A and B are shown apart, each in its own frame.
Chain A
Amino acid sequence: MKQTGIATKIILLSCGIALLLMVVGCILVVQYEIELLNNMTDKKVEEKEHFYLYSLYKEKKLLSDQLSNQVNDLITLMQSVDIIYAQTFEFQIHSLLMHPMVFAAEFCDQKGKSFLAAWKSKTVQTAKQFPKALPLKSYMMINKKTGIPSVERIRLYYSIEKIEEQLQMLKEQNINELHETRRNVYKKLNVLFLSQSFGSFLVVALLGATLIFSLRWLILKPINNLMQIAKQLKKLDLSVDITPTMASHELNSLAQALGQLLEGFRKIIADVKENANMLSGSADNMTDIAEQLTNQSEDAESKANIVAEASVQISANIHTIANSVEQISDNMDGVSSTSDYLFNNINSVANAIEELSSSLNHVGERAQNGTEIADKAVLLAAKAGKTVNSLRHAADEIGGVSEFIQRIAHKTNILSLNATIEAASAGSAGRGFSVVASAIQEFAEQSSRAAKDITDRIASVQKGTSEIENVFKDVSSIIKEMNESSDSISFAVIEQTKAVQEIASNALEADERARNINISIEDLSRTVNDAADNTAQVAMGANDVSTRIQGVSESISFNRQISHQINETAIVLNHLSSNLKCMVDPFKVSHQKSNNNNKE
């Protein structure tokens, strides 16, 4: 989303500002409306106030008029009458007080003094004069001259409080109604404000969405295309085609300029690449040739070395040959002296062998004697074995007899027990018999014990006899072995005597041969001395040859060094050309060419 980052930022910013402006405008409008409403209500309240004052004034006037009319009527009524009675006055004053607004009334005479007064406390009360406690000053007053001698003046006191109250109430009611309407209007305005802000938010969202889509479609898409091309260029791929898009002519001209630039680059790089390839090929060739040269010179050097080494070895070998020939001549002298010694020794051996032959004869006789004795021993051993065998049989029989005795003893024991039981059952009469029975039991036990003893002894005798038998078997086998070995000894002695005689005759012959060897060895030693002299001369010649061959080898090694240097320079050249190729290679000029490069 990095490509859309700028667009979203711009859109979000603009949308935010628009939203803010709209909300602020909305608030201002609402504020203004509230202000207007307040002003209007205030004006109305003022109007009501004025109206109240005006109507109060009117009512007052009306009331005073009414009252004065009433008084006037009364006066005319009084004028029309000749004589006025006191009761009439009272009646009149009562009628005056009938009016709800009138609080008090008084009639005055010619001197200005009141002669009849009436006022409302709880009921209508009458007197000559008003009591001083009455708060008459707070009431309105109508003062009229009658022109009638008996009643000079009529004073009427009345209050406008009730009217005032009524009007006040009316006014307050009106004002309250106004406030109520204002409150309603406020509520409506709040709703209006909310709906207005919501609507503005919707409008802003719509605007933002259209902005996003248009920005993406018109600007970001072509820019993305260009960016992809730039990425490919970053990878040194020059084989991209730039096609103009339909979005806007500014971007189109930019794309076209880029395309032209690419075309130029592509041509240059292709040329360079071709040249580098050619250069690298020729450098390779050169390296190969130089390497061949080096190899060949190395080969020559090694061969020369081998020859030199071989010549050195030859001279060394010839030296050793000369040395060994000299040694041989020395050894030959030693041999001749040893052969003398040998000759003497063989003589003494022949004498000793004859003595041995005579002693062997003696041994043969003794061995014969031993064989005869062994035969006799075998016979005796067999006889002893038979005797032992019969002894064992006898022992077995004794065992059977003792077992029989034991059984009898057991029987006797039981018999004695039964006898004891019988004796016991006989009571005191059988006591004597019981003693006898116990004695018999004793005897039975003793005989049983003796029989057991005999059985044990016989068993040990049987064990001994079987051991003896085994020993005799061993002894007879040993004697047989002895017999066989003495036989073989006598046979061997006879053979040895024959061999010794042969050895004696051979020793004599050896004596003769040794003498001959002695003579021929002396001849050989003489010829060997001659050979030693000749080989020394050959060795000197071989040394000379080896020094010359070394000279040849040195000159060849010099050659090799030079060819090595050539090889190194060729390698450097090759390296340079391959470097150039590497630099150029990453640029892909066209699809086909890049493929070809890959194949190469």
Chain B
Amino acid sequence: MRNINNITSEKKKLPESKRQFCSFQMAGHFFGVDILDVKEIIDEVVLTKIHHAPPEMLGFVNIRGHVHLVLDLRLLLNFSTKSIDEASRVLLFHPNVGESFGVMVDQIGHMIEVEERLIEYRVSEENISGIARDFRKSELEKGVCKLKDKLLIILDATKFLYAVDLKR
């Protein structure tokens, strides 16, 4: 719980203890990141490849004169990589999440507003003695939100860059 308190989004809690998530789909799974971490969604992406970079780094993108790093979230979550198509979108995060960067997702969804009590947070102490990969995955997944017909996996945007380092 100490980790959760440190995150900026936790500090700006909505008065009715409701939280908003930006949802997206990846490999048939339903993921979400806190909307307060998201800066912008971009549809038309022109990537500039970084040579000798790890495969998780797809490249740089120029948004209105600012250069952002784009990560492949599929690889970070250990799915197989997929080529960019019409439905692919880039989620750019706030500078307070990390340095200016974004992730590539398969398909963007709605903004979802859920009550705090529907979210179940993971307790990270339980998984301390896992192998490195398990550790990373569990760190990326902050918790799970039970929606009416499906589960929303809530990811921690602040850990993405850290995950790339860990994978090396």
Contacts and interface: CB of A to CB of B under 8 A. Distances in A.
Contact of A418 (B12, B20, B40, B94): B40
Nearest to B20: A424
A421 B43 contact: no
Interface in A405-421: 410-411, 414, 417-418, 420-421
B43 to A, nearest CB: 5
A424 B43 contact: no
B35 interface: yes
B15 A424 contact: no
A425 interface: yes
Contacts of A428: 14-15
Contacts of A411: 43
Interface in B10-25: 12, 14-15, 20, 22
B22 A421 contact: yes
A441 interface: yes
Nearest to A424: B35
Interface in A215-267: none
B36 interface: yes
A427 interface: yes
A428 B40 CA distance: 19
A420 B40 contact: no
B110 A421 contact: no
Contacts of B40: 418, 421
A305 interface: no
Interface in A392-451: 410-411, 414, 417-418, 420-421, 424-425, 427-428, 438, 441
Given A420-B111, A424-B36, A414 B20 contact: no
A149 to B, nearest CB: 157
A523 B22 CA distance: 124
B110 A441 contact: yes
A168 to B, nearest CB: 121
A417 B15 contact: no
Contacts of A410: 43
A418 B108 CA distance: 12
Nearest to A427: B12
Interface residues of A, number: 13
B41 interface: yes
A393 to B, nearest CB: 27
B38 interface: yes
Contacts of B20: 420, 424
B104 to A, nearest CB: 15
Given A410-B43, A424-B20, A424-B36, A417 B111 contact: yes
Nearest to A425: B36
B36 A418 contact: no
Nearest to B39: A421
Nearest to A416: B111
A94 B133 CA distance: 143
Contacts of B38: 421
A417 B36 contact: no
Interface string B102-116: 000000101100000
Contacts of B15: 428
Nearest to B22: A421
Interface in A94-132: none
B128 to A, nearest CB: 33
A567 to B, nearest CB: 109
A414 B41 contact: yes
A354 B117 CA distance: 109
A552 to B, nearest CB: 116
A412 to B, nearest CB: 11
Contacts of B94: 425
Nearest to B35: A424
Contact of B41 (A421, A425, A427, A438): A421
A434 to B, nearest CB: 8
A421 B35 contact: yes
Contacts of A420: 20, 35, 111
A223 B15 CA distance: 148
A417 B12 contact: no
Nearest to B34: A424
A432 to B, nearest CB: 14
Contacts of B22: 417, 421
A427 B35 CA distance: 11
List the 7 shortest-distance A-B pairs measured between CB atoms, nearest first: A424-B35, A420-B111, A417-B41, A414-B43, A421-B38, A424-B20, A418-B40
Interface of B: 12, 14-15, 20, 22, 35-36, 38-43, 89, 94, 108, 110-111
11 contacts: A414-B41, A414-B89, A417-B22, A417-B41, A418-B40, A420-B111, A421-B40, A421-B41, A424-B111, A427-B12, A428-B14
Given A410-B43, A420-B111, A424-B36, 9 more contacts: A411-B43, A414-B43, A417-B108, A421-B39, A421-B41, A424-B111, A425-B35, A425-B36, A438-B111
